[in-house]
Amino acid sequence: MNWLIRAWTWRAVQVLKSASVFARRRWTAADVWVQDHHAGVGVTVLLVLCTAVGLLLRFRMDQVTELAKQFAPVCTIISITVTAIFSWIKWVRKRRKTRLATAGAARP
């Protein structure tokens, strides 16, 4: 019975290792894709956010204004969000530039 537990444990560790490698490769691939398509991703995120805010204000304006009066001005929240998105785009562009420079230097 002890050998069975060891076999299951060994198999579980192997599955976790392969899942970890798979997840890391997928994450790296997604990161590279976002770096290469940062403009489109940024525009898409802004369009989705603006659409969501527009729909929220269209159908729940009274609730939004009440919450804004209680917690914070809506314009401040939106400006912080947009600033964060632009900062993120700048950071991704910098990482992409560094990655491409490193890849270009590595080629003979």
Domain boundaries, the chain: 1-36, 37-100
Contacts for 49 with CB less than 8 Å, ≥ 6 apart = 81, 82, 85
pLDDT computed for residue 108 by the predictor = 60
Do 57 and 100 contact (CB within 8 A), yes or no?
Answer: no
pTM of the model: 0.50
Q: Tokens representing 21?
A: 């490698």
State yes or no: pLDDT of 106 exceeds 70: no
pLDDT computed for residue 59 by the predictor = 92
State yes or no: pLDDT of 68 exceeds 80: no
The mean pLDDT value for 58-83 works out to 83
The mean pLDDT value for 10-25 works out to 88
Percent of the chain topping pLDDT 70: 96
Instruction: Give the single-character DSSP code of 71.
Output: S
